[in-house]
């Protein structure tokens, strides 16, 4: 029997990890405390990078069909427009910079895709109550009662991770004091999908209000609470009604709306120092918490899950030693620290932590109304892909970066022919050819591309170049000698015949 991988938590991160492992042919058990997908919209902005990963997993289609694409946003001071956000969007991009989609849909689409593999057993309504971790794995006690042994445990059980607590690990960093009231409302209105922010609106003086359209005529309305404001009072339906109705009236939207979900949010910038603890590996909110401003929580968690899962699949198949997972912490913790740096700046702006920051923020807003050069300071610094440096990147640009969107001469996207595993782009010959290859025990796809192809120009590739692409779409190396096996070995992989390392 193949070794057992257990995922704690069936949120977007746990389900992405499970799906990636299943796509690599590995059976997985997911333990999820809730009886079904999450309540409330929670993470609504899904980034282009996440869509690229979901596409590699063969699950992007329902996200794109249901989600609402957007490329722009507007910020106002009072009623005056002070900043217009335009996200990069080139003709060769297969996906918009963002789609808006309620987290419960994201979880449902991932759970459906997991079920369709026949390899993922999701145990809904089971909570991990106790974890005993040892050198060979972890013993889990579930509620309702059951005991489960895991050879590897992926801890994706969210911000209040039981696994983290059971292992006696603590997140390091800081928490911000200011809070936002978060609501979903049902509202019929013809506004396009765009990010809209009002600083100090007449409807709610001193506050900041953010509005995002979601599918099904649902709108996210986030309102900053005043310093010291009573959270319980703010959450009372009649107080929410007064606050939101005043705002809808101010912006000329219909007075008819229904409250669907409410919550209070406080920003944190927290992370574990190390994500791999023996045979227990942390991902998503269980590993780190980043503020919602810049929308990096779910998006960075999806990247964690995929990065971890393809590496763990190699370890399980005996094609990489467990120490290869050190590259997971190296890459994803560095990404987390970058996220924290960017999101901290956004949080200072969206939720200034002290009167001094309020003064500085208001000065920027005021200046931006008259001097366009200050408007860039209002940029919300939305989530983007990271450059990696680790043993799994062999150096030299564009190595360490995700493969850009590029069109092949026949009009197809390069990503459409890449497959979900390792790929090698060979810039030689006079046409396009795709063939499965094997080096030792490791399968990869060889894609031969004419060096005069538009795609080569986009990638800056010259005749004779060989690009080694990782399963997450990152360029691992640009090889001058074309020695794919040598490069994979230098990354720390073993090319011996496939065997289950822990069978």
Ligand X SMILES: Cc1cc2nc3c(=O)[nH]c(=O)nc-3n(C[C@H](O)[C@H](O)[C@H](O)COP(=O)(O)OP(=O)(O)OC[C@H]3O[C@@H](n4cnc5c(N)ncnc54)[C@H](O)[C@@H]3O)c2cc1C
Structure tokens at 40: 């409330």
Q: Which is nearer to ligand X, 14 or 473 (CB)?
A: 14
Are 224 and 358 in contact by the 8 Å Cβ rule? The answer is no
Nearest distance from C-beta of residue 18 to ligand X, angstroms: 11
Q: Are 208 and 198 in contact (CB under 8 A)?
A: yes
CB of 197 to ligand X, least distance (A): 14
* Cβ count within 10 A of residue 52: 22
SS3 379: coil
Max Cα-Cα span within the chain: 70
Nearer to ligand X, 44 or 461 (CB): 44
Tokens representing 495? 């090319």
SS3 assignment for 203-261: CCCCCEEEEEEECCCEEEEEEECCCCCCHHHHCCHHHHHHHHHHHHHHCCCCCCCEEEE
Q: Which of 98, 55, 106, 351 is nearest to 223 (CA)?
A: 351
Residue 413 CB, nearest distance to ligand X (Å)? 24
- Cβ-based neighbour number of residue 244 at 10 Å: 24
> Which own/partner contact pairs does 488-492 have at CB distance under 8 Å and 24+ positions apart?
488/422, 488/439, 488/442, 490/394, 491/391, 491/392, 491/394, 492/320, 492/321, 492/323, 492/324, 492/327, 492/391, 492/392
- Give the neighbor-by-neighbor strand order of the sheet with 137-143: 127-134, 137-143, 146-150
Residue nearer to ligand X on the CB measure, 384 or 459: 384
Radius of gyration of the chain (CA): 24
Tell me phi and psi for residue 213, to 5 degrees.
-80, 140
Q: Is 297 or 380 the residue whose CB approaches ligand X more closely?
A: 297
Shorter beta-carbon distance to ligand X: residue 43 or 153: 43
Residue 132 Cβ vs ligand X, minimum distance, rounded to whole Å: 14
Nearer to ligand X, 34 or 446 (CB): 34
Q: Which residue is nearest to ligand X (CB)?
A: 11
CB of 383 to ligand X, least distance (A): 6
Sign of CA dihedral 266, 267, 269, 271: positive
Taking the complex as a whole, the smallest distance from the CB of residue 158 to ligand X amounts, in Å, to 3
Closer to ligand X by Cβ: residue 140 or 455: 140
List for the chain the helix, strand, coil content (%; round to 5).
30, 30, 40
C-alpha of 171 from chain center: 19
H-only helix segments in 57-169: 60-66, 103-117, 162-166
Nearer to ligand X, 308 or 477 (CB): 308
**How near is the Cβ of 182 to ligand X at its closest, in Å?**
4
Closest separation between CB of residue 128 and ligand X, Å? 4
Residues that bind ligand X (CB under 6 A): 8-14, 31-34, 38, 42-45, 103, 127-128, 156-159, 162, 182, 263, 265, 284-286, 292, 295-299, 301
Nearer CB in complex with ligand X: 285/405: 285
CB of 165 to ligand X, least distance (A): 9
Compare residues 10 and 471 and give the one whose CB is closer to ligand X.
Answer: 10
Least separation in angstroms between CB 365 and ligand X: 23
Q: Provide the β-strand partners of residue 83.
A: 75
CB of 68 to ligand X, least distance (A): 13
Q: With respect to ligand X, which residue has the nearer C-beta, 336 or 368?
A: 336
CA angle 112, 163, 293 (to 5 degrees): 70
């Amino acid at each position: 029997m193949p070794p057992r991988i257990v995922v704690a938590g069936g949120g977007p991160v746990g389900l992405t990890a499970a799906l990636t492992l299943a796509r690599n042919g590995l059976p997985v058990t997911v333990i999820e405390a809730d009886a079904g997908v999450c309540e409330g919209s929670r993470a609504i902005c899904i980034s282009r990078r996440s869509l690229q990963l979901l596409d590699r997993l063969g699950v992007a289609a329902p996200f794109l069909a249901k989600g609402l694409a957007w490329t722009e946003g507007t910020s106002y001071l009072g009623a005056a427009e002070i900043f217009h956000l335009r996200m990069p969007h080139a003709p060769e991009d297969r996906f918009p910079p963002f789609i808006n989609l309620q987290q419960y849909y994201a979880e449902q689409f991932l759970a459906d895709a997991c079920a369709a593999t026949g390899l993922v057993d999701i145990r809904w309504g089971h909570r991990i109550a106790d974890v005993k971790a040892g050198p060979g794995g972890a013993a889990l006690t579930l509620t309702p009662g059951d005991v489960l042994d895991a050879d590897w445990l992926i801890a994706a059980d969210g911000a209040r991770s039981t696994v983290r607590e059971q292992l006696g690990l603590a997140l390091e960093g800081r928490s911000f004091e200011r809070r936002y009231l978060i609501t979903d409302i049902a509202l019929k209105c013809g506004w396009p999908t765009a990010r809209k922010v009002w600083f100090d609106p007449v409807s709610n003086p001193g506050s900041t209000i953010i509005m995002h359209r979601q599918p099904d005529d649902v709108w996210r309305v986030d309102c900053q609470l005043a310093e010291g404001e009573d959270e319980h009072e703010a959450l009372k339906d009649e107080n929410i009604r007064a606050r939101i109705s005043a705002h809808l009236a101010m912006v000329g939207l219909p007075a008819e709306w229904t409250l669907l979900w409410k919550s209070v949010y406080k920003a944190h910038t927290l992370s574990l120092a190390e994500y791999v603890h023996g045979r227990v590996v942390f991902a998503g909110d269980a590993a780190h918490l980043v503020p919602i401003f810049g929308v990096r929580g779910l998006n960075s968690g999806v990247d964690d899950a995929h990065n971890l899962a393809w590496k763990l699949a190699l370890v399980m198949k005996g094609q990489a030693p467990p120490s290869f997972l050190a590259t997971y912490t190296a890459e994803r913790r560095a990404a987390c620290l970058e996220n924290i740096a960017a999101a901290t700046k956004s949080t200072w702006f969206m939720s200034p932590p002290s009167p001094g920051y309020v003064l500085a923020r208001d000065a920027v807003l005021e200046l931006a109304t008259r001097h366009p050069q200050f408007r860039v300071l209002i940029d919300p610094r939305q989530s983007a892909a990271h450059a990696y440096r680790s043993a799994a990147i062999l150096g030299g640009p564009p190595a360490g970066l995700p493969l850009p969107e590029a069109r092949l001469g026949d009009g197809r996207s390069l990503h459409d022919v890449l497959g979900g595993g390792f790929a090698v782009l060979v810039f030689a010959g006079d046409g396009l050819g795709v063939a499965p290859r094997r080096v030792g025990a490791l399968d990869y796809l060889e894609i031969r591309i004419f060096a005069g192809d538009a795609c080569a120009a986009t990638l800056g590739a010259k005749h004779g170049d060989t690009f080694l692409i990782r399963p997450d779409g990152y360029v691992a190396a640009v090889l001058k000698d074309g020695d794919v096996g040598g490069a994979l070995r230098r990354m720390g992989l073993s090319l011996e015949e496939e065997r289950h390392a822990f069978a």
